[in-house]
Structure 1
Amino acid sequence: MEKKTYTSTEGLLEAGKLNELRKLLIGLSQEELNRLQNLLNDPHEFAEELSTLLPYAIRKMIEKGELTVDTLLPFVEDAMHKSIQKNPQRLADILFPVMGPAIRKAVAEDLKRMVAAINASLETGFSPKTIKWRLQALISKRTFTEIVLANSYVYHVSHVFLIHRETGLLLREELAPESQPLESDLISSMLTAIRDFAHDSFKSATPGSLDEIQVGELKILVEQGPFAIIAAVIEGQPPADYRLTLMETIEAVHFNHGIDLEKFNGDTSSFVHTSKFLQTSLIKEKKEKKVRPPYILIVLLIILLSVAGYLLVQRIQRNSKYTEFASKLESIPGYHLTSYSIKSKSIIIKGLKDRLADDYSQIASDAGIEASEIKMHLESFISADSAIVIKRAQRALQPPAGVKLWFDKGVLYLSGTSSQEWQNAFEGKISSIYGIDGIDISELNQQKVDLKWIIPSIEKQRFLFEINVVSLDSQQQIQFDSLVKAAVNLDAYNQLYGKKLAIYVRSFTNRNGNIEANERVASKRAEEFMTLLEQAGVKKELLKGQVLFAEDLTESVYLRSVHFAVFDTKPTQE
Structure 2
Amino acid sequence: MPTDAATDHADSEQQLEKVRTLLLGKENSRITKSIQKDARSLVADVITEALHDRQKKDNSVNKVLQPFVEESVKQSVAHNSEQLVSSLYPLVGSLVRKSVAAFLSDFMEKTNQLLENSLTIKGLKWRFKARQSGVSYAQYAASQTFVYRVEHVFLIHRETGLLLNTVALEHESKSNADIVSAMLTAINDFVGDSFLSDQEGQKEQLQSVSTDNFNLLIKPGPSALVVAAVSGNPPQSISNQLQLTLENIHSLYFDELNRFNGDNKDFNSADNLLRDCLLSEQKEIVAKQKKTPWLAWLIVFLVVIYVGYQSFNWFKSAQLHEKIMQLDSQPGIIIKQLKIKQLDDITLDVLRDPDALNIHDWLKDNALNPAQLTITERNYHSLDQQILQQRAQRIVSAYPNISASWKNHSLMLTGTIDLIKTEQLRNTLAIAGFTEGENLNTEQLNLASNTPSSTHKEIKQQLFEQLVGRIASIQLNFSVASENITPQMQSSLQRLYLYIQQLTPIAKELNIDFGLLILGSSDNTGNKSTNNILSMKRANNTAEILQRKGIAKDRMYVVGLGQIDIKNISSTARSVMFNVIYNSHN
The reply to whether TM is greater than 0.5 is no
Query: Given the two structures, how large is their TM-score scaled by the length of structure 2?
Result: 0.30
Query: Given the two structures, how large is their TM-score scaled by the length of structure 1?
Result: 0.30
Q: Which one has the largest radius of gyration? A: 1
